[in-house]
């Protein structure tokens, strides 16, 4: 499995909290996951953002976002001329703030960093 991630936010290339959650995921699934982070300010090269987000923007143009249902409904209407349609799901759990990386995680993680651009490219291996 390959994850293409932006370099900012919660899945950034530098914080270890994302890496810790990724390690837990690969341990649960029992598969390797390769991660490639776009360098800072390069998310414009992400094909999903470049090819699909403009259609979502057009579907929401001129709409007052007064409720969550309004936003979801408009985004579900978005489609491309080739027939690509959106799937919109709302995650209704509370995002936990203030989480910290477990002590000793850095020494026990089984991330294999690539020789080329190791900061942005690595493979998470099940323990």
Which region holds residue 57: left if phi is over 0, alpha if psi is between -120 and 50, else beta?
alpha
Domain that holds residue 15: 2-124
Cα 82 → chain centroid? 25
Name the phi and psi angles at 5, rounded to 5: -125, 150
How many domains does the chain fold into?
1
Give the pLDDT confidence of 101-119 residue by residue, as tens digits.
Answer: 999 998 888 899 999 988 8
Q: What is the pTM of this model?
A: 0.70
Find the DSSP H helices in the chain: 16-29, 47-60, 68-77, 105-108
Token pair for 57: 């923007």
Give the pLDDT confidence of 26-79 residue by residue, as tens digits.
Answer: 999 999 999 998 877 776 677 777 777 888 889 899 999 999 999 999 999 998
């Amino acid at each position: 499995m390959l994850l293409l991630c932006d370099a900012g936010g919660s899945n950034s290339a530098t914080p270890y909290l994302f890496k810790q959650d990724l390690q837990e995921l690969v341990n649960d699934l029992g598969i390797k996951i390769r991660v490639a982070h776009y360098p800072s300010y390069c998310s414009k090269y992400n094909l999903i953002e470049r090819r699909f987000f403009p259609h979502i923007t057009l579907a929401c143009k001129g709409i007052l976002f007064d409720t969550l249902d309004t936003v979801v409904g408009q985004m579900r209407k978005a489609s491309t001329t080739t027939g690509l349609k959106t799937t919109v799901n709302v995650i209704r759990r509370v995002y936990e703030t203030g989480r910290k990386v477990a002590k000793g995680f850095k020494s026990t993680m089984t991330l294999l960093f690539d020789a080329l651009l190791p900061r942005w490219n690595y493979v998470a291996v099940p323990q």
